Structure 1
């Protein structure tokens, strides 16, 4: 029996990583983005527009963070990072995926192999 990665494995995936200072990491804690983004912005001492520019610089659309829409965040950031890699390499990366590569399943779903 093959078990798809659970949410915590997805969270630890590269796509969901971005460099944070120790202070910001403590502000973020284990909360959802909708809970911590305003605290991070306040700590940074920046206005909304500059804060969104900073978030965009990490290949992140802040819309998905404010909505706690992890699926959309993950798909969008994956595509943004792939486009950056393609630009650096000067060639396309295949976007073909198989069912085995699908990481999002309903909680507790299992696939037999």
Structure 2
């Protein structure tokens, strides 16, 4: 359908935008036969038009894509397409996320080799002990991909303590901070144990990633009186049974 032109930078850029619009906006979550047929008809001409700047209407999957910032509060399970898409997006960045202990890139290969899974940044035990509400504790904003060995070292520790442990793995504090930043996290908030500041900052960083991938602004409704997609719209917030904070 696209032939060798699929490798052209401009063409691939539009294909990436189409992919992230479909994944992050969860447009392939229901009956998909009609959507597949529509995309097969609309995506290729639009992508090819990027070669010479021809005017071709964007496919419906791109035009109709919407993402509300408040959706981040309800994404708590790997059963959600957008949940998986956000972490795939993190690993697809030009400078993808790195494992905090192994100092290795987290990608489709190492994901299996290092037994990578999605784990809490501020551990579940710490959140419970410090009365962090379940909505934020279990939100995707408080999760990140880490290897099994790294998650075991972090355990349920206060981030101020586990950052000190990470500093003792043969890396300088500055090097550890760079690893943390690769996950769209400001390490200063972990070193200070400041959950509220961390949560607000990382939420903004994830929104920036989503906007760049979709090529459009998200609905910044998080501070509005009525959220577009609050946690209650997707059922009660509880523990993700597939996630655990293991201890050494």
Fold match (TM-score > 0.5): yes
The corresponding residue for 1:68 is 193
The corresponding residue for 1:85 is 210
Q: Are 1:30 and 2:175 counterparts? A: no
Q: Are 1:20 and 2:20 counterparts? A: no
Runs of 4+ in 1 over 6 A off after TM superposition: none
Could you tell me how far apart the structure 1 residues matched to 2:192 and 2:138 are? 20
Could you tell me how far apart the structure 2 residues matched to 1:100 and 1:29 are? 36
Cα RMSD after superposing both structures: 2.1
TM-score in terms of structure 1 length: 0.75
Number of residue equivalences: 97
Higher relative contact order (CA 8 A, sep 6+): 1
The Cα offsets for residues 75-105 of structure 1, whole Å up to 9 and x where unpaired, read as 00000010011011111112123356589xx
The Cα offsets for residues 7-39 of structure 1, whole Å up to 9 and x where unpaired, read as 252222100111111111111111110011111
TM-score in terms of structure 2 length: 0.36
Picking from 183, 197, 217, the partner of 1:58 is 183
**Is the CA contact 2:166–2:176 (under 8 Å) kept in the aligned structure 1?**
no
SS of the equivalent of 1:79 reads helix
Structure 1 pair 32–84 and aligned structure 2 pair: CA distance change class (3 A):
same
Q: Which runs of 5+ in 1 are unaligned?
A: 1-5, 104-113
Instruction: Quote the offset at 1:53 in angstroms.
Output: 1.0
